[in-house]
Structure 1
């Protein structure tokens, strides 16, 4: 099941109050490529003058041709800044989470450099979030239009956020986020907000976006896994995880990730245990990768109580991809009769499959340590006795949790 964020569930804030309801639809100025790259879809284009910047992803804009001088609250496509709680044209009166005010100031800086004039684009003119038109905004600096969204994400001021129907920017924004993460830019600097707890802890994040079966009826099959690769337990009470939208789950006091173990946050409802927590949501939240549907991925993020982003999981991998299993394992596939998929250690040293998954029509995840000795093989549990492989053609992949292919086998009409 594909999840695309259509609106942001936020509390009533000053930013929401700035939304101007009942205004006539702005006149369409033009149609152009959404992005200056080959194969870009077409977008509707408007222009306007910025009245003031509400926060890192919302601007008040006097839209040219809309028949009114009243500014409209415009929500940036593809961008999620950290939450701001007090809004004002005067910077001294603003308040917000760590990184929020920096994002607002960066947007103001770009708008000032563009002399207040913005170019707004959208694939669907009616796209909106909380009654705010959704638009990608650019400013002209030194004779060239600069995408505000890609600037914010690339320099670490904001996260990438997929929006329903507005996919033209997703690949570029996902790449910008991967680059910002690799360079530890701003919010990717894990102690930017102050000295947080458990410095140096070997925590990992892994989100399962594609639950077995129908995501909508298997909410707890979507989860975020907080792993601990260290030799000591790590307390995460007061820490929180979020998706690329505004939803967050905060860990209760006393929550501990055991040494060599993990704590799971399941999206749906259930009874909490020491290692399994339940978000209590009523719908899936992580977007499945679907190239035909223009869905390129999503992310999950772990923050400490200071507001520092300590670990993240953005899929599929775009920068610095790889696996310690590369060249050390192979796949054996029997697709006729009694089906069988095996993972084989072809190296001369033990290998651990943890953090990987075997993917065909279904998937099997190696969530906990699974060690194969040199020359040893194991049969993937979902394969034996069940017709999951198409005799006419298909493929089986061993992938990292962020979808980088380590090994692949194909037959018939399949292709690796």
Structure 2
């Protein structure tokens, strides 16, 4: 099955077949697992990377609007409260925009099974491993049909529009490379989350020119040398920038590192955020070192075909603008 890409900028992105035949054996894990392809209708879109789906011939869980599905390939900014009326919902900058865009694509604002009302789009859900999940949500690639009846990869649409960060998966890796291409295309155009001046409010340190580098491969065993993995922020401009309250993250959802009060970076200076534990702040030859406090490696290692794994490092200011980033991988 060939799947065309949804969206105005989609012609630049080629998408391969989304699903294996039901019952086919995937080879991405040490034990045999079965691929899955299911169909259903969207009943609710709570946020920018999650949907509820009434899967054909499957009864919803008690008290639920359907099976909760977590998108492969997407990492939306965090939404704090969930409402049908998004004017009453709250979240980080770009979180509600992602939810609104996903609702525009898939619908699903009503959910009343007693009257058999499900107004969302019909979707195809697929995975190389039927057991793939994330926080009690089934992890799936999601497609829907356009007016011509062609299946469209919804994650490609969201990434092409700049609605979310890309999130690469080592098991559900079918479209890792395409997702990276779509995200980089959006970033090149400063779309959505990639626009460094898109969040409401006065941009902190507006003239700051910062660059991000991710050292994703520590010397030796990453698990034994956590501090060999780090974010490195460099001030390439001519003015000192405050980092107080700014934060860095990778693609995963974990406790992000927030710079402490008073942190700053001078012209030409480098600031490091090491993955492991250490002194809260240390200066060495004009560099500043901070410690994230993680107990396991944070960054995915680069791999080639077929998985095309990678990750990224992202620096956000206090109002949520993405001010520096590096996305790595083939």
Matched, 1:175 2:181: yes
Match of 1:74 in 2: 69
Question: Per-residue displacement from partner, 1:299-326 (whole Å, max 9, x unpaired)?
Answer: 110000010111110113x7xxxxxxxx
Q: 2:140 aligns with which of 121, 135, 140?
A: 135
Distance 1:186 1:148, change over 3 A: same
Corresponding position of 1:340? none
Instruction: Give the TM-score, by structure 2 length.
Output: 0.81
Q: Describe the SS at the equivalent of 2:282.
A: coil
**Residues 1:60 and 2:31 aligned together:** no
Q: Which structure exhibits the higher relative contact order, with contacts defined as CA atoms closer than 8 Å and separated by 6 or more residues?
A: 2
**Compared CA separation, residues 41 and 121, structure 1 to 2 (3 A):** closer
Structure 1 length normalisation: TM-score? Answer: 0.65
Sort the Cα spacing of 1:215 and 1:138 in 2 relative to 1 into closer, same or farther, 3 A. same
User: In 2, are the aligned partners of 1:62 and 1:72 still within 8 Å (CA)?
Assistant: yes
Quick one: which of 194, 204, 209 aligns to 2:211? Answer: 204
Structure 1 counterpart of 2:154: 148
| Whole-angstrom CA distance in 1 between matches of 2:53 and 2:224 | 41
* SS class of match (1:180): helix
| Mapped contact 1:288–1:295 kept (Cα < 8 A) | no
Q: Are residues 37 and 182 of structure 1, via their aligned partners in 2, closer, same or farther at CA, if it must alter by over 3 Å?
A: closer
Return closer, same or farther for 1:79/1:38 CA change in 2, 3 Å cut-off.
closer
Judge conservation of contact 1:204–1:227 (CA < 8 Å) in 2: yes
Counterpart check, 1:120 vs 2:125? yes
1:15-414 paired onto structure 2 within 5 Å: 37=15, 42=20, 43-68=35-60, 71-112=66-107, 116-142=121-147, 143-194=149-200, 195-247=202-254, 248-271=256-279, 272-274=281-283, 275-291=288-304, 294-316=307-329
Query: Quick one: structure 1 residues 292 and 176, their matched pair in 2 at CA, closer, same or farther if it must change by over 3 Å?
Result: closer
Could you say what the CA RMSD is over the residues aligned between the two structures, in angstroms?
A: 2.2
Distance 1:122 1:161, change over 3 A: same
SS in 2 for 1:125: coil
Residues 266 and 277, structure 1, Cα contact 8 Å, conserved in 2: yes
Give the number of the structure whose alpha-carbon radius of gyration is greater: 1
Residue 257 of structure 1 contacts residue 263 of structure 1 at CA under 8 Å; is this kept in 2? Answer: yes
Distance 1:230 1:68 in 2: 55
Query: Residue 287 of structure 1 contacts residue 295 of structure 1 at CA under 8 Å; is this kept in 2?
Result: no
Q: Matched residue pairs, number?
A: 286
Distance 1:54 1:232 in 2: 41
1:292 deviates by: 5.4
Report deviation, 1:262.
0.6
> How far did residue 38 of structure 1 move?
5.6
Partner of residue 369, structure 1: none
Contact conserved, 1:74 with 1:133, CA < 8 A, in 2? Answer: yes
Give the 3 Å change call, closer, same or farther, for CA 41–119 of structure 1 in structure 2: closer
Shift in alpha-carbon separation, 1:52–1:37, aligned structure 2, 3 A: closer
> Which is worse superposed, 183-192 or 64-73?
64-73
Contact 2:208 2:240 in 1 (8 A): no
Deviation at 1:150, TM superposition (A): 0.9
Per-residue CA deviations over 1:121-159 (Å, capped at 9, x if unaligned) read 111110000111001111111122221111111111101
Tell me, in whole angstroms, the C-alpha distance in 2 between the residues paired with 1:92 and 1:292: 43
For residues 257 and 250 of structure 2, the distance between their equivalents in structure 1, rounded to whole angstroms, comes to 9
